Amino acid sequence: MVDVIEIAGWLSISLLLTFVMVLQSKGIYTSPWIRGANGLQYIVYTIIAGTAFYWSVYGYYVYTWDILLWIGGFAAIDANLAEWRNELQDESETVGHAQTRGDVA
């Protein structure tokens, strides 16, 4: 049963990251949907970390190590996603200011 919970968690994280990326590609950088998806990710990461704790209690240290490596990898993806969001937001603000001043046709 713990396997099913862990797999469901990883699928949820993947779907949430995809959802946030789609919103960002459409120019939506801050919204209740993005804040909700980010908050839900932290909850799911906590559940996944709980499965790692479960495996360590029962002596399956390889499974624990595997989960912790995956959490680190997804944290790196999430950090890159946040950096990408900031870059897109800066670009849209720059273009918006230039259009307001009439610099860009």
Q: Would you place residue 97 in the very low, low, confident or very high pLDDT band (cuts 50, 70, 90)?
A: low
Please state which of the ranges 24-28, 73-77, 92-96 shows the lowest mean pLDDT.
92-96
pLDDT (0 to 100) of residue 16: 94
For the chain, how many structural domains are there in total?
A: 1
What is the pTM (predicted TM-score) of this model? 0.79
Amino acid at 9: G
| Residue showing tokens 């989960």 | 67
Per-residue pLDDT tens for 24-61?
A: 888 887 889 989 998 999 999 999 999 999 999 999 99
Q: Which residues of 44-83 are buried (b: 16+ CB within 10 A; e: fewer)?
A: bbeebeebbebbeeeeeeebbeebeeebeebeeebeeeee
pLDDT (0 to 100) of residue 92: 77
Cα angle 29, 35, 38 (rounded to 5 degrees) comes to 105
Domain interval for residue 18: 2-101
Query: Which residues lie closer than 8 Å to 23 by C-beta, 6 or more apart?
Result: 31, 33, 34
DSSP annotation of 81 = H
> What percent of the chain stands above pLDDT 90?
59
